[in-house]
Chain A
């Protein structure tokens, strides 16, 4: 290739493409226009998408305005939808104002000096649904609130708590076809044992018949007798001794067969015993499958309130997990603090330096809201300090304190404190909240076709403390509900009346719950006067009925076992008789033959002969 475009100018100007500068100027102008007219809209859309992904319900921003020169960002009409009640907002904020420093922006650091949120509303109504639908593209790299169930931390506790006896009472009262249920149940241990028994009996009969054929004992005793007689007549001690050896071998063979039969008999007897032992287990299995309520606990609190508690714990754990991923702990090498993050590509290292900012820092945020004529606005005061993406670099924990009164929701003296400390090697989060008075409405305990049982209205107070320390969890909740009004309706009058009777004296509920232990295996303990009263009352009322049902199930299982088992047992007994008795008989016969052979040997002994013919030497029994 040759230089066909030799430039007439020399020096540095020959290297510069002047048209390129024009293009750059155009691009720069486009950038300025974009920043002026489009950036705010795109930033708003992006924040809505990120928020909606994390919340798994719509996050809507009415208006967003930025001003980089003044270092300000303002968000108006922020609505965070409730992820299970799509027509309600969890929180609505009228205005959030940020003031950030311009200098750190040139260092790719976002430092928000001050944030002020005013006009906080709780549980407002939405004009459109807050559901996130398929057309709303979530940002895949952010895991969502809905993923909380995927980590399965509370699955085992949830399974334990979901066994609510109130669910099965309707079934109990409505009548159950127990015989049909037992006959169609496929997983009974006793049926499995019967199948094993059948196999064992089948193998036994094969084995025993084979053994008998091999021994062929029936005709051989006569042969041996004949041989002994002929050996005696022919004075052949050698023949008799040989015959004795064969008789011994036959006896051993028959005894081995008898031993094998007895061993097999032992196994079959064990199988029979197992069938008997498994009736209890089968009864329990059938009860569980029919959802017969188990009234063997003296406190139903984990079943009544456990699932709701765990729902809350899952939500909190999700956000703790989110905080740990977004505010990771760091390491220190050569007096330099480093925080590693895993973006979409590669690994990014954030480095700490004396008096330098982390990548994102919110110094202080104030929450301020006053009561208004609208009932859902609350009086909120709060402060958040030290929210950062790199806690080890910033060096201080994040602290949040909030106080709220929302008279429209009968929420009084609510206090909320949160501390997130990821500055050290052990990550810890501590959450405390207390509400002096809170109106509770429509708290569902059971809702199925047979029974609708809920707390329609109550006034309560709440005290909770939840601490996460690396992989350990310690949570405690105390709540007291007063002026409790229940809503009970069932298609079974008896059930409804029973519950009303039990709850007549339960105008207040005191609940204490604890979830403690390692995060992968926490334990739930919960107790309340309502749980105890319900357990006691239901046991008294339904104990007899449950016992009757249990007996009926047991009986049905025993009948089913008997139908399957009896033919097998009679076949087994028959086999025993056919096999064992002949073998034992033959063993006796051969032992008799052995005696005969011994006598024959004795009679052939010379000393014996001399004794018998009158000589003085006493006979000595032959040694063989």
Chain B
């Protein structure tokens, strides 16, 4: 039972912070994480942001999986974009050289074409994605939630002992 309590606390931890802006920010952070191909300082930064700031962790993970899957198909584009930015933009060469020899910055692997391409695309899409996500959450959040609740898999899940125990846990005074 104690173990179950800890598991339920973990679920709570994942699904707290469900204000529209928090969910939208979670999707944006998940997008940044998904478009980063390897584990580097950027990934660590995103994880730190996720843990420190009040962002919906569950949606971050869902967004990460979605955009990481998308990046498999978008990698050639990221590579080309990154390579162009690194080697064919004379005005930025000195900036790249400076960043490459600066402290800490090289650990972000910005000098890798895939990483830079992914970051560039994520940065360009960040604001539009934030506002679009926020709009979707506000406009369609409740209707999507209702639709999900009425699906067969959810009803099957809602009938399980674990779910009913979780609901009792939620209703109990903490």
Contacts and interface: CB of A to CB of B under 8 A. Distances in A.
A binds B: yes
Interface of A: 1-5, 7, 14-17, 19-21, 23-24, 106-109, 333-334, 336, 338, 343, 345-353, 356-357
Task: Identify the interface centre among A1, A3, A345: most chain B CB within 10 Å of its CB.
Answer: A1
Given A348-B111, A353-B97, A17 B51 contact: yes
| 6 cross-chain pairs, A with B, having the tightest CB-CB distances, nearest first | A346-B114, A20-B51, A108-B106, A3-B19, A351-B97, A1-B141
13 contacts: A3-B19, A5-B18, A7-B54, A14-B54, A20-B50, A107-B102, A108-B106, A333-B87, A346-B78, A347-B79, A351-B93, A351-B96, A353-B98
Interface residues of B, number: 47
B145 A1 contact: yes
Contact of A346 (B37, B53, B54, B98): B37
A1 B51 contact: no
B63 interface: no
A17 B53 contact: yes
A356 B101 contact: yes
A343 B112 contact: yes
Given A3-B18, A24-B52, A343-B112, A349 B86 contact: yes
A346 B115 contact: yes
Contact of B104 (A106, A345, A347, A350): A106
Interface in B94-134: 94, 96-98, 100-104, 106-107, 109, 111-115, 117
Nearest to B102: A107
B115 A338 contact: no
Nearest to B106: A108
A346 B85 CA distance: 13
A357 B145 CA distance: 55
Given A106-B104, A107-B103, A107-B106, A349 B20 contact: no
Interface string B32-53: 0000011000000000101111
B18 A17 contact: no
Interface of B: 13, 16-20, 23, 37-38, 48, 50-54, 75, 78-79, 82-83, 86-87, 90, 93-94, 96-98, 100-104, 106-107, 109, 111-115, 117, 137-138, 141-142, 145
Nearest to A333: B93
Given A1-B142, A107-B106, A346-B114, A336 B52 contact: no
A347 B83 contact: yes
Nearest to A18: B52
Contacts of A350: 100, 111
Contacts of B20: 1, 3
B78 to A, nearest CB: 8
B112 A347 contact: yes
B52 A345 contact: no
B18 A353 contact: no
Contact of A24 (B37, B48, B90, B98): B48
Given A106-B104, A346-B114, A346-B115, A1 B93 contact: no
B114 to A, nearest CB: 3
A5 B13 CA distance: 12
Nearest to B37: A345
Contacts of B75: 345
Contacts of A16: 52-54
Nearest to B19: A3
Nearest to B145: A1
B41 to A, nearest CB: 9
Contacts of B48: 24
B112 A348 contact: yes
A343 B50 CA distance: 29
Contacts of A21: 51-52
Nearest to A359: B106
Given A338-B87, A346-B112, A356-B101, 4 more contacts: A2-B19, A24-B48, A351-B111, A353-B101
A24 B82 CA distance: 32
Contacts of A1: 18-20, 23, 137-138, 141-142, 145
Contact of A349 (B79, B101, B111, B142): B111
A343 B90 CA distance: 24
B87 A24 contact: no
Contact of A345 (B50, B54, B97, B112): B112
Contacts of A333: 87, 90, 93
Nearest to B51: A20
B6 to A, nearest CB: 13
Contacts of B104: 106-107
Contacts of B94: 334, 336
Task: Identify the interface centre among B82, B93, B100: most chain A CB within 10 Å of its CB.
Answer: B100
Nearest to A14: B54
B103 A336 contact: no
Contacts of A7: 54
A19 to B, nearest CB: 7
A350 B96 CA distance: 9
B18 A351 contact: no
Contact of B109 (A107, A334, A348, A356): A348
B107 A108 contact: yes
Contacts of B53: 15-17, 20
Contacts of B50: 20
Contact of A336 (B17, B18, B97, B109): B97
A20 B137 contact: no
A338 B90 CA distance: 12
B47 to A, nearest CB: 9
